[in-house]
């Protein structure tokens, strides 16, 4: 990939809002009786994908590729390696800065990942998210937590560790 093309991809990616996983999360929050959220709210640092100002809850639904999901360990492009590594490092640093700013402003930050909202992981991840939002009264301890069911390969590893007796 040449640099101009790479840059165009980056520009397109940075514009992406309202992605599939975000829409699914919002629908599930409404179904759970938790409407009243704000989307990409300018008054919250980093414009969280979804936030509840009254509850001081900010939710980030991170795409695994651009935000460098710790679970997926996706590969870096083979050409322009330095460019991509710098780009990804900047993305990670920006995320960390946004989370820090929100915590300083008294928010509880819930971070979830695209891969944790896929297939059979969706329901357990949403249950955990909904529980966090529902119990937040705006006076909880500000912090950053990762929310979500572990990906299937992780469960596979856990099963392997349990050995034959762990299988059903
Ligand atoms: Zn992932």
pLDDT in tens, 6-34: 555 554 554 456 779 999 999 999 999 99
Reported in sequence order, the residue ranges of 102-157 that DSSP labels E, i.e. its strands, are: 108-113, 144-146
3-state secondary structure of 57: strand
Which portions of the chain are predicted below pLDDT 70?
Answer: 1-17, 150-168
Task: Give residue 115 CA to ligand 1 midpoint distance, Å.
Answer: 4
Task: Give residue 152 CA to ligand 1 midpoint distance, Å.
Answer: 11
Would you give the DSSP letter of residue 36?
A: -
Task: Give residue 117 CA to ligand 1 midpoint distance, Å.
Answer: 9
pLDDT in tens, 148-167: 876 555 555 555 555 544 44
Task: Give residue 80 CA to ligand 1 midpoint distance, Å.
Answer: 23
Task: Give residue 65 CA to ligand 1 midpoint distance, Å.
Answer: 8
Answer whether 144's CB lies under 8 Å from 51's CB. Answer: no
Task: Give residue 69 CA to ligand 1 midpoint distance, Å.
Answer: 5
- Domain locations along the chain: 3-166
Does 3.40.960.10 match the CATH number of domain 3-166? Answer: yes
């Amino acid at each position: 990939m040449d640099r101009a093309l790479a840059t165009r991809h980056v520009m397109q990616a940075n514009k992406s809002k309202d992605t599939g996983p975000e829409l699914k999360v919002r629908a599930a929050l409404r179904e759970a009786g938790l409407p009243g959220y704000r989307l990409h709210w300018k008054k919250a640092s980093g414009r969280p994908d979804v936030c509840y100002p009254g509850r001081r809850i900010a939710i980030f639904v991170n795409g695994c590729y651009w935000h460098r999901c710790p679970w997926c360990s996706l590969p870096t492009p083979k050409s322009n390696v330095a460019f991509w590594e710098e780009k990804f490092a900047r993305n990670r640093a920006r995320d960390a800065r946004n989370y820090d700013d929100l915590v300083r402003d008294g928010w509880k930050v819930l971070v979830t990942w695209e891969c944790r909202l896929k297939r059979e992981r969706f329901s357990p991840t949403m249950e955990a998210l909904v529980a966090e939002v529902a119990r937040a009264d705006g006076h909880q301890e500000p912090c950053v937590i990762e929310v979500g069911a572990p990906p299937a390969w992780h469960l596979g590893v856990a099963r392997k560790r349990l050995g034959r007796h762990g299988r059903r």
